[in-house]
């Protein structure tokens, strides 16, 4: 059964705290993903970790770094993040990516690698000995509310065939119309952005998505 994971993508501390307080009150939530962007790898600059206070340890916190060649992870460690998601495409070569993965592990956090939609999923096979958690983007990254990319279903299924024991996460454009099908494709974690953050009532939207994913 797939797990729903709310996400936070905010450019101001006020906006971050508002979404944070709402999402930590959602019934049954266990993990929360926070997006970070440098304005280079993605066009928009998102609130940096240095401006975030220590996170509630009752939840598993993931930091999704839409950042070019990240090498420093101390700010994320201080905040209390347990998983750091870096982009395959953010590095010039595999060596630099592997060095970043090692730095995350040395900081006591779990590394995960994210692929943009245009990157073949078999690109991560060379990383399978170092990483067991992969995120597939189902939108073009950087903004909430962009259209879901329909080839995501087959990408999830292919990655599940290639790495049957990996943690597979899907991020972007997940809503009532596709959440069940993504889950059935083989995803473990489904990131919810605008489908709850832009809903008139976040709690109601969350519960409806929970009901849909658990529907027989």
Q: What is the CATH number of the domain that holds 79?
A: 3.20.20.70
**Each residue of 38-49: pLDDT tens digit?**
999 998 899 999
Q: Which two tokens mark 8?
A: 């936070």
Query: If you search the block for the tokens 């990516």, which residue do you land on?
Result: 97
What percentage of the chain has pLDDT greater than the value 90?
93
Question: Number of folded domains in the chain?
Answer: 1
> What pLDDT sits at residue 145?
61
The one-character DSSP state at 45 is B
Contacts 24+ apart (CB under 8 A), 145-151: 145/193, 145/194, 145/198, 146/172, 146/173, 147/173, 148/172, 148/173, 148/174, 148/175, 148/178, 149/117, 149/173, 151/117
Query: CA 14, CA 147: separation in Å to the nearest integer?
Result: 27
Q: Which two tokens mark 54?
A: 């220590």
Which residues of the chain fall below pLDDT 50? none
> What pLDDT sits at residue 198?
94
The helix/strand/coil state of 93 is: coil
Residue range of the domain that includes 145: 3-213
**Each residue of 158-209: pLDDT tens digit?**
999 999 999 999 999 999 999 999 999 999 999 999 999 999 999 999 999 9
The one-character DSSP state at 38 is B
């Amino acid at each position: 059964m797939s797990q729903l994971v709310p996400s936070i993508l905010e450019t101001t501390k006020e906006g971050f705290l508002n979404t944070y307080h709402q999402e930590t009150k959602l019934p049954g939530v266990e993990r929360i993903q926070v997006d970070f962007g440098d304005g280079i790898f993605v066009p928009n600059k998102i609130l940096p970790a240095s401006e975030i206070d220590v996170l509630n340890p009752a939840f598993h916190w993931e930091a999704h770094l839409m950042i070019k060649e990240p090498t420093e992870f101390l700010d994320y460690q201080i905040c209390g993040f347990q998983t750091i998601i870096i982009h395959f495409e953010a590095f010039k070569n595999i060596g630099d990516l592997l060095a970043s993965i090692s730095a995350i592990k040395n900081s006591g956090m779990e590394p995960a690698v994210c692929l943009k939609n245009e990157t073949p999923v078999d690109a991560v096979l060379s990383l399978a000995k170092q990483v067991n958690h992969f995120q597939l983007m189902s939108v073009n990254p950087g903004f909430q509310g962009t259209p879901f990319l329909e080839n995501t279903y087959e990408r999830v299924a292919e990655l599940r065939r290639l790495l049957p024991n990996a943690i597979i996460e899907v991020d972007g454009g997940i809503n009532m119309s596709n959440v069940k099908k993504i889950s059935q494709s083989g995803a473990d974690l489904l990131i919810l952005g605008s489908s709850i953050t832009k809903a008139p009532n976040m709690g109601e939207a969350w519960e409806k998505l929970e009901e849909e994913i658990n529907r027989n």
